[in-house]
Structure 1
Amino acid sequence: MSFVLTTLTKKQEVDSIIRDTIDKVLVLRFGRSSDSVCLQLDDILCKSVREVSKFATVALVDIDSEDIQVYVKYFDVTLIPSTIFFFNAHHMKMDSGSADHSKWVGAFHRKQDFIDVVEAIFRGAMKGKQIVSCPLPPERIPKFQLLYKDL
């Protein structure tokens, strides 16, 4: 399913997409295509990409790529999948009740949840905010301790 989305394996590709995505939310899914939770998330991203295309761009980042490790370290991607949001080259943060506002860890429960989150980030960014509140109810926000990954 993930062949529909661009997969980035080089730091330069990530740099350019962050720099060149203007007036849209950039959604970067850090993970690996062999991971079952990543595949679940990728399925949701693929099904949503058309609906969010007016205000968002979605790409996958292969965390096993040697060239990407600078981003993996910078964003402290220890759990996968981790989804990181940008707007006009600025890292957008989301308060979803966890200690880490820098990324979304885990998959979304359903397509509409992903669309709601991206829309909230877009609206916040258009108002000049760098951090937005998560629009989802707490029971639909993945909890870190539920995720056990072989890292």
Structure 2
Amino acid sequence: MEYILNTLTKKVEVDSIIKDTIDKVLVLRFGRSSDPLSLQLDDILCKSVREVSKFATVALVDIDSEDVQVYVKYFDITLAPSIVFFFNAHHMKMDSGSADHTKWVGAFQRKQDFIDVVEAIFRGAMKGKLIVTCPLPPERIPKFQLLYKDV
């Protein structure tokens, strides 16, 4: 069964889902519905949403929406798709071997990889951690050349 994911286009929608998602991991996918890699990721998210529903909420954020640019800038979303994780309104970070621990950049290779990552974040958050180690082997983590603007 396919699920339709909620797409957020306004800052107030993003603010309220962050504030209102309690005791679950909030998965915010920043991307574009016209981007093939975003669509590949969305497909994996849709197929996984039922399995993670007990401990995670998944929503899409349209990075071309004028009203969410404050988040796009704050999380330095220069590559789409990117996923930002929250738990009880706290930004959750993940060490996946790159210089940037603030977000997951790119798509997951398979559904189980996404489920494993969200589960690791949930377990870490339940222990009070704000940063967790990525449970995936390095070869299944997308590699991107990070471009830092204005450095």
The TM-score, its normalising length taken from structure 1, stands at 0.94
Which residue does 1:128 correspond to in 2? 128
Q: Can you list the C-alpha shifts for 1:14-43, whole angstroms capped at 9, x where unaligned?
A: 000000000000000000000000000000
The amino acid across from 1:109 in the alignment is Q
Match for residue 74 of structure 1?
Answer: 74
Q: Residues of 1 paired with 2:105 and 2:117: CA distance?
A: 13
Q: Secondary structure at the match of 1:112?
A: helix
**Identical aligned pairs, as a percentage?**
88
Aligned to 1:36: 36
Distance of 1:3 and 1:48 partners within structure 2: 9
In structure 1, the residue matched to 2:149 is none
Residue aligned with 2:76, SS: coil
Shift of 1:145: 3.2
Letter in 2 for 1:54: K
The reply on whether 1:94 has 2:89 as its aligned counterpart is: no
Q: Which amino acid aligns with 1:55?
A: F
Q: Which residue of 2 aligns with 1:20?
A: 20
The separation in 1 between residues aligned to 2:104 and 2:89, in whole angstroms, is: 18
Q: Which runs of 5+ in 2 are unaligned?
A: 147-151
User: Which residue type is aligned with residue 104 of structure 1?
Assistant: W
1:57-92 deviation digits (Å, cap 9, x = unpaired): 000000000000000000000000000000000000
Runs of 4+ in 1 over 4 A off after TM superposition: none
Measured against aligned partners, the alpha-carbon deviations of 1:90-123 in whole angstroms (never above 9, x if no partner) come to 0000000000000000000000000000000000
TM-score between both structures, scaled by the size of structure 2 = 0.94
The one-letter code sitting in structure 1 at the alignment partner of 2:63 is I
Aligned to 1:112: 112
SS in 2 for 1:144: coil
| Long gaps (5+) in structure 1 | 147-151
Tell me the CA shift for residue 3 of structure 1: 7.2
Q: SS state of the match for residue 145, structure 2? A: helix
Work out the CA distance in 2 between the residues paired with 1:33 and 1:95. 27
